[in-house]
A and B are shown apart, each in its own frame.
Chain A
Amino acid sequence: MADFSWNTQSPLQKALVAGRHGVASAQAGVTLVEVRDLVLVQVMARRGKAADTAKAAKKLFGVDAPSTPKAVAGKTATLVWSGPDQFTVLAPRTDESSQIDAMSQAFSGSASLSDQSDGRCLIRVSGPRGRDAIAKFSSLDLHDAAFPVGAAANTAVDHTAVNFYREANGADGHPVYSMLVFTSFADSLWHTIVDSSLEYGVDTSRTRAAA
């Protein structure tokens, strides 16, 4: 039998062509980044164990887990609300198995965990016109008053389920939005975002999750 090995590759391997697309003005209106090397775990409290789950999260991450649609930055991970009594843990990958072991122990008996590290793709949209590009395909109200830094939403964009949240503003002072999408839909969503951004000029790249 032929030797056979699986290679991991980005779901955006083909779609992401790094560089400038669309209008070639001096400054790109939109910056589009695929964030790689994440550990991503869905935490779902078990029936009657919501309080225990919150306590375990506080102990492990040093912050209160979000109980409303918000993204909260903890010690080693960002916790993003993903439904009643459930949230997603996002951490830069260091040593995946020990990271997941630590969570398994912390939430033992209180919550069910599901490793989604390679099941989702994280796409980050920023730049002065990032919000305008998103407005073309999302029905969310992204006004600062309605969707401030730290806000999160489970929503459907372009008929695709997305965990959407807003990070701290970029160095340029403009908002930064992150979208977690199922890997098999990442290619399609990526094209949607790029197409929506062409008129503003878009810089695309991939990066490693910051530790």
Chain B
Amino acid sequence: MPSVKELAQKPIPLVGGHRACAGCPLPIAARWVMASSDKPVVACVATGCLEVTTTIFPYTSWNVPYIHVAFENTAAVASGVETALKALKKRSRYNGDVNVVAFAGDGGTYDIGLQALSGALERGHKFVFVCLDNQAYMNTGIQRSGATPRYAHTTTSPAGDVLTGKPQGRKNIMEIVAAHGIPYAAQASPSHWKDFLLKAEKAFKADGPAFLNVLIACNLGWGFEPIETLEISRLAVETCFWPLYEIENGVYRINYKPRHKLPVEEFLKRQRRFAHLFRPENRHLIEAVQTEIDAQWEDLLRKEAASASKASPS
């Protein structure tokens, strides 16, 4: 992994002047991913906050070749770019060496973009798909998505007299992606930059499709102050709400195990989307969340232990 000092020598892949909210980690994550590539990158970006805020015509914040695509076909377009480059090489019309990266939000990954992603993973294109998971459709005004956690308030799962936020849990996108048997899938958070950069680097080096699921703490949709962005992301990791792990050729590895796992309440109480859980009549729901998180963490530990035998002795 290149050091921060080495990264600072590289051209900035995403420049300022974009119009993301103050403190939004989207541009940070996009920059870190692209900076981790050892080759020039082509970025394919789905509709969403990242696209809308960085490419307000006639301006662009992207310092790399960039193609905007619809919600549903990010992975399909990335496949096309990768294949076109191969075809051009075969005909000796282009002999450069580039990486293809696709960025999509949780809407463009868990929900609308799922079939294109599944197809691209199954065909085995060599590209990196980055899901920037802010856990709802933030760009259109905080509607619930397949990535919204249980009991989170969104405008389409409002907490009130009838609902206590979203009744359903989150899709396990990592398992869905890993079930395609791709060489590399990992979950990362901008709060842990070394882990993040290592994973992005591994993803680009993978022999085939790679997937990164990145937590994007949204100050508007989750309800916290911009300065708290990285702290909230850290709490997501420390409470095992967002475990940092990777699945490399079927082998699970948890990259960070909190020494003292914090109660999930510490993560929930900092966000207005969960504020209703702290009313006396809803306190039991916090316990339900804790039980669910514990079960998921145990499950992950079991998977790591079970797949350890598969790992090569190296």
Task: Answer whether A and B are interacting partners.
Answer: no
